[in-house]
Amino acid sequence: MQDFCARLLCGPDSIAFVEQPSYDRTVTVLRRAGAEVVGIPLEADGLDVDRLEKLLKDGKRPVLLYLVADFQNPSGIVLSAEKRLRVVALARQYGFWIIEDAPYRRLRYRGKELPTLLSLAPDRVLFMSSYSKLISPGLRVGYVVSPPALSAELAKMAEDTYINPSYFNQAIVYEFIQRQWLEPHIAQLKALYHPRLDAMLSALEHHLSGLATWTRPEGGFFVGVTLEAPVAADDLLSEARAANLVLTDGRGFFANGDGDRFVRLPFCALTLSEIEEGIARLGAVVRGLSE
């Protein structure tokens, strides 16, 4: 879906704004579609909207802004209510599209749900989500909600690409929802994942205090960690492998190539003991590189 949206909206010499850090594969997809990808820093309450507005006032004209407003990948940050209003106002003023990617939105473990950008500006937002995080990643079933003119073009692009997605997989999702299994299943996921998030935050406090800062998400899959010391990503990845840790290269999340000191930590697929052991190993690695 991201690829279809990128191919529809972007082209040579176009500009696409993303959060920084942002989902690494989106950065790749937008560049493959011909766009210059410009990263806008994240703050504790989401996108730096002052920076976004300055870029626009200085003459940057993006065709789109891609963001994950709820439990952002890779940081876990949520875009605040105030900033949601400012972002859609700027989209209307300067005429760019917002791609709101929301695969983690239903996985809120605490706090108050905020309105989608789609609900605030249906005329400027392409809202996409997936059942990969809620039912099964192997189903590969998702959807896009967009203004009718764009929906028709996206549907034609999809048809020209793969004729149609798997009816069998769509039927599985349909039956799952029709039999009213989805809501209790989401409740089970929240009950499973919430303690794992808490365990990761506790382990970070115990093993990386003074060595790094990190986000404190209220839901989703990820905690974003920024190391304090000026560590080279290649050294971090090498030492992590030696400690039997698998880390994603943080540089891929940054459109400008930064990210040496950034670590994305997923917690949902790990047991509490694995989280404690993994963060202890990460702490030892970071401590060794900082000395």
Mean pLDDT of the chain: 96
Mean pLDDT of 97-102: 98
Whether the predicted pLDDT of 158 surpasses 90: no
- pLDDT score for 142: 93
User: Could you tell me how far CA 238 lies from the centroid of its own chain?
Assistant: 25
Domain stops at, among 139, 157, 177: 177
Whether the predicted pLDDT of 210 surpasses 90: yes
Measured distance CA(57)–CA(193) in Å, rounded: 42
- pLDDT score for 163: 80
Mean pLDDT of 125-152: 94
Cβ proximity of 101 and 67 under 8 Å: yes
Same domain, 99 and 116: yes
Same domain, 150 and 208: no
Domain of residue 281, CATH code: 3.90.1150.10
Q: Which domain holds residue 171?
A: 2-177
- pLDDT score for 240: 98
- pLDDT score for 188: 98
Same domain, 165 and 198: no
Reduce the DSSP state of residue 93 to 3 states and report it: helix
Cβ proximity of 200 and 265 under 8 Å: yes
Same domain, 88 and 159: yes
Q: How many domains does the chain have?
A: 2
Mean pLDDT of 3-18: 94
Same domain, 195 and 170: no
Domain of residue 123, CATH code: 3.40.640.10
- pLDDT score for 178: 98
Same domain, 284 and 162: no
Measured distance CA(260)–CA(274) in Å, rounded: 25
Domain stops at, among 139, 161, 177: 177
